[in-house]
Amino acid sequence: MKKISFCGSSNFIYSRNQTCKVNILAFNKLFQKYLNFQIGEQLIISVLGNVAVMAVICLDQNLRTPKYVAVFNLAFVDLLGSCALIPKVLDIFLFNHYYVPYNDCLTFLFFCYTCLSMQALNLVALCYDRLMAIMFPLHYHVKVTHKIMFSMITFFWLFVITCTLIAVGLLTRLSFCGSVVINSYFCDHGLMFELACNDNFPSIIISFLSPILILWLPMVFILSSYICIAFALFKVAVVKERVKALKTCTETCTSHLILVAIFFLPFMGTTITVLTSYIHPNARIINSSLTFTVPPLLNPTIYSLKTEEVKDAIKKLLNAPFFRYNFMLW
């Protein structure tokens, strides 16, 4: 059977044509146990937080607006990403299940990259909502409708799934002459195709285009949008109106900017460091793992559960007769 094996605690080795020995993550056992504990905590909090956000949006009719279509999708993507990545990492490190079938590895890669890409594009959808609300407040309900938001989210899903399937499909045509070592904590696309024996040029092209289309362009769009918002606010002639507009912008945009920073800064830091100097594999692994695990943990609190609309919805649900009756029985 074609297998990927995860052996020891140093690197990640992978082969398509034969069973080979593999090591993962060059951390000592004490740090590895601490990492397992932290990852386990993150999974529980992420699942509870994102399920709570989705439940509140579904149960409260006041939250069934175009904006919360994107918020619901973000919570769903965070939940799916956490459930795809973290349990498998815990299975590898906690239970020493270092042997993984090759097809399972490709499936692992597909879900991890799909969810990571959708997180970036979902931030674009939320940015579009904020841009229209501040730049065109009188036309907001025309420019941001359920149809537009659903169409945008659907297009993002189809685009991301297509790109990821192409990347995974190109990996299946590669041949590996022997054991290969990949310094990562999961089936990393770039590190896998670099070790192929046959022509990997199509995979190189995909690895170059995908980050530009799915990560860099969304980041440029988001930054450009906030530059436009800033110029529009400072063009307001009346000082009182400008202060009011800035206050509104601060209340509505701060949470989104925090999400953007949490998601993009680790990715940007790793990319810039790799291009300009040497980065230790462990540092790269930790930094990239933050991009995968921290946003799903913090997104529910930062963008959803602390907003006044969601707080009011939660209070309303808790004061509903059904919840009050069950609480009294408890």
In this predicted structure, the answer to whether residue 23 has a pLDDT above a threshold of 50 is no
Q: Residue 215 CA to chain centroid, in angstroms?
A: 11
What's residue 24's pLDDT? 44
Segment 200-241, tens digit of pLDDT: 899 999 999 998 999 899 999 999 999 998 888 877 766 776
Q: In 3D, which of 241, 248, 163, 238 has the Cα closest to residue 207?
A: 163
What's residue 145's pLDDT? 95
What's residue 286's pLDDT? 72
Most confident among 25-39, 74-88, 152-166, 240-254 (mean pLDDT):
152-166
Sorted by where each begins, the domain ranges of the chain are 3-307
What's the rounded Cα separation, in Å, for the pair 132 and 211?
26
The chain-wide mean pLDDT, for the chain, equals 79
Task: Determine what percent of the chain is predicted with pLDDT higher than 90.
Answer: 32
What's residue 166's pLDDT? 96
What's the rounded Cα separation, in Å, for the pair 89 and 61?
38
> In terms of CATH, what superfamily is 3-307?
Rhodopsin 7-helix transmembrane proteins (1.20.1070.10)
Provide the residue type at 296 as one letter.
P
For residue 151, count CB atoms less than 10 angstroms from its CB and return exposed for 0-12, middle for 13-18, buried for 19 or more: exposed
Segment 118-133, tens digit of pLDDT: 999 999 999 999 899 8
What does each C-alpha distance from 180 to 18, 311, 326 come to in angstroms? 11, 51, 57
* Mean pLDDT, residues 132-148: 90
Name the pTM for this structure.
0.86
Segment 88-105, tens digit of pLDDT: 777 777 777 666 677 778
Long-range contacts of 274-283 (CB under 8 A, 24+ apart): 281/11, 281/26, 281/183, 282/25, 282/26, 282/27
Q: Residue 321 CA to chain centroid, in angstroms?
A: 37
